[in-house]
Amino acid sequence: MDYVPLLSSEECDPVDVVLSNFSIHIAKNNMPCASNKNKIKQTKVLLQPLSVRVKGGSLFAILGSSGSGKTTLLNVISQRYDKNSTIIFGDISYETPNRKYEYCKVGYVTQSDLLLPYLTVKETIHFAAKLKVPQCSSIDSSLDTLVDNLIGQLGLSECKNTRIGDNANSSNLAIRRGISGGEKRRVSVALQVVSNPQCKYHYCNYKCHSLILLLGQCFVPMNQRPD
Amino acid sequence: MEALKNLTLSPTHRTTIICTIHQPRADIFQMFDYVLLLSKGGYSIYCGPTMGLNPYFESLHFACPLHSNPADYYMDISSIDPIQDSIDNQSILESPSKARVKHLVRSFQNYNSNFTSDNIATPTHQQQTNTDQPPIQISAKYATGWAQQVSTLTQRCYMNTYRDPWNLIGGIGQSMLLSAVITAIFWQLPDSLTATESRCGLLYITTTLEPYIFLLILVERYGSELKIFDRELLDDMYSPSAYFVSQFIASLPQFTVQPILYSIPVYFGCNLRSGGQYFFTFLCVNIVITFIVSGLAWCCVSLHRSFSVSSLIANTNYTFICLTSGYLVNFNSLPIYVFWVKFISFLAYSYQIVMVNEFSDNTLGGCPYYDDPDCTQYDGNEVLQSNGIANDNYISTWPPLLTIFIVYHLVAVLLLDFIRNPVTGSIILQLNFIHHYIFFNRGCRW
């Protein structure tokens, strides 16, 4: 397999995600007036205490039957949860070989692909790059290079000028079919990867650490697999 | 999806990837470095290198059968059979699957306690982390400045909006069709006393019907676009205000062209007051109303994303404003408890403007005798007076109309900023909000 560098060969430190004694509880009846003490009493455990170090630069799978808290864990790591009803015990931190961070840039590819239907694949990624990559000089050409590399790496070259299209199940005849479900998934990944600080490093000499990418349901289920 | 693996394994990329998977193929499953296996209730059953999965379960006498997919097999043994479980619930004995899962959870806890937590997923050498340095925070929330956000988003929104055939059919087609119907019904109204009622009716219909249909179209369109907005907001791609401003700019052409196409046939086909300045005023009212309706649609969808709820809010609001706008019930005879609505209803202002525009200082033809006292009813000013509309030079109508336009847009941008749609968790704040909102509106109506 050939590994094409995204843009530069300059490396950022990969980040370890460290969970120590980490558990997630949810308040059963979310009464706004209930005191904190009461809340803890009436909780349901969504994730039992878990300690794990997810090594930087690795590929980590969460496997489990439905309702076992896979998505909940991802939601909490990406800070996308309801702070009023969810109670978290234990610590989460992000570590590079030299530093410890309390926050980290997290790219989260959620389970559903929310994309604008009338843009092509290339345009979608290009606009995201324009919004997410800070530009310190006139580097519009290198932004194009970044987008093209990303399209190549994710195997989207064939459909880069195809419009995304709307839901395949949609009965609306006016909306064309567009790209396949698997391709949509990869476009969603591209939108998150585009903000990898590694790209920023190239432009602005950022002190950087890599992105943590969370993928909800990274495979299209068998019965809907289009490709 | 193998392409994704290539990307993530790329040595220069160095991205940490955590993903939830469902039914992975056996060969793809082997591409993962580490696995966390969870069972119902969030109990961990295994956490460690993928390579260690088979030996671990073999040691527990749950060796994966030769020809089955390891991922499927381990998921099977770690899940509780819900049907069996509910049958066995009455009996004292636990169901076999439940007992098995309990056993697995306990064995993993034992296994786990033999190692320090840090070593679980990192069998290789682990560098000592220097924790003395203060945590670094990300300096700016957005990667790009506000102006660049606006320009990029405007461009994007413009492309997505004007490539959509249904947007053009729905928006422009709808207003053309409606103007054709109205023109056909009110074709060449005679300039006489008998047609005065029809003339008032026409003015009312033109300023309320088309915006109403357009409102619903916009609620639907904005509602679906805001789903993408919600995701991108969570990704910290841009600020809500930048998004809103760019949406506004991108919609400028459509919102100007559409009222023009609508107004021309109606105005000239129905023989409304001749004179360039009168037509211009009529057109301006329609353009402003279109923008106000867009602001109202934004308010509704920012309160709730689903079409059923947001269109309900839009409907209640609009119906209420529409009924009290001065045509169906004379301004002078509005009951005192809804009297105040005339001051906040944009349709009341627009109706007053087009009425003044049509009738002020205008004499209706057909008065049989000159200087006849009966002829006062042919005087346009009289018509206005009998409808309870003050005949002034738009000083009491245009400024409030423009204020309402600004207020709706400000409210919408504030709502977009404050009411965030969480990906997960409760939307209790929102529901309360809507509850009060609907309640409040109903309270006024009945």
Q: What was the pLDDT predicted at B295?
A: 95
Chain A residues close to B39, C-beta within 8 Å: 64-65, 68
| Most confident option among A137-151, A210-224, B152-166 | B152-166
User: B427 to chain A: nearest residue by CA?
Assistant: A82
Q: What was the pLDDT predicted at A41?
A: 59
CB B417 within 8 A of CB B233: no
CB B121 within 8 A of CB B34: yes
Mean pLDDT confidence for A66-87: 80
How do residues A17-35 score in pLDDT, each as one tens digit?
888 888 888 876 555 544 5
**Token code pair at residue B111:** 């296994």
- A153 CA to chain B: closest CA distance, Å? 6
Amino acid at site B143: A
How do residues B21-68 score in pLDDT, each as one tens digit?
776 777 777 778 888 888 887 888 888 888 888 888 888 888 888 788
Which residues 171-190 of A have a C-beta within 8 angstroms of B?
A: 172, 174-175, 182, 185-186, 189
Q: Provide the 8-state DSSP code for B332.
A: G
Q: What was the pLDDT predicted at B6?
A: 57
| pTM beyond cutoff 0.90 | no
- B129 CA to chain A: closest CA distance, Å? 6
Q: Which of A62, A99, A162, A187 to mutate to test the interface with B (most CBs of B within 10 A)?
A: A62
Distance CA B315, CA B311 (A): 6
What spatial distance separates the first Cα and last Cα of chain A, rounded to whole Å? 21
Continuous H helices in B193-345: 196-234, 240-269, 276-303, 307-323, 336-339, 341-344
Give the DSSP letter string of B162-211.
Answer: HT-HHHHIIIIIHHHHHHHHHHHHTTT--SSGGGHHHHHHHHHHHHHHHH
Which residues 118-177 of B have a C-beta within 8 angstroms of A?
A: 118, 120-122, 124, 126-127, 129-131, 133, 135-138, 143-144, 148-149, 152-153, 155-156, 159-161, 163-166, 169
Q: Edge-to-edge strands of the sheet including A16-27? A: A43-54, A16-27, A86-95, A100-101
Domain map of chain B by residue range? 2-119, 146-445
Distance of CA A49 to the CA centre of its chain: 24
**Token code pair at residue A111:** 């389970």
Chain B residues close to A216, C-beta within 8 Å: 19-20
Q: Which of B7, B20, B57, B114 to mutate to test the interface with A (most CBs of A within 10 A)?
A: B20
How do residues B207-249 score in pLDDT, each as one tens digit?
888 899 999 999 988 988 888 888 888 888 888 999 999 999 9
Q: Domains in chain A, ordered, with CATH?
A: 16-29+40-104 (no CATH), 111-212 (3.40.50.300)
CB contact under 8 A, B228 and A105: no
Mean pLDDT confidence for A143-151: 82
Q: What was the pLDDT predicted at B429?
A: 41
Q: Is the pLDDT of residue A47 over 50?
A: yes
Chain B residues close to A137, C-beta within 8 Å: none
Q: What was the pLDDT predicted at B247?
A: 94
CB-nearest to B21 from A57, A97, A219 is A219
- A53 CA to chain B: closest CA distance, Å? 6
**Token code pair at residue B25:** 């193929």
Residue A120: pLDDT band (50, 70, 90) is: very high
CB B244 within 8 A of CB B411: no
ipTM over 0.85: no
CB-nearest to A51 from B117, B152, B155 is B117
- B243 Cβ under 8 Å from any chain A Cβ: no
User: B429 to chain A: nearest residue by CA?
Assistant: A32
Which residues 382-441 of B have a C-beta within 8 angstroms of A?
A: 422-426, 428
- B120 CA to chain A: closest CA distance, Å? 6
* Averaged confidence pLDDT in chain A: 71
Residues of chain B with pLDDT under 50: 11-12, 116-139, 422-446
By percentage, how much of chain A surpasses pLDDT 70? Answer: 64
Higher-scoring residue by pLDDT: A78, B112: A78
Q: Is the pLDDT of residue A105 over 80?
A: no
Q: What was the pLDDT predicted at B152?
A: 92
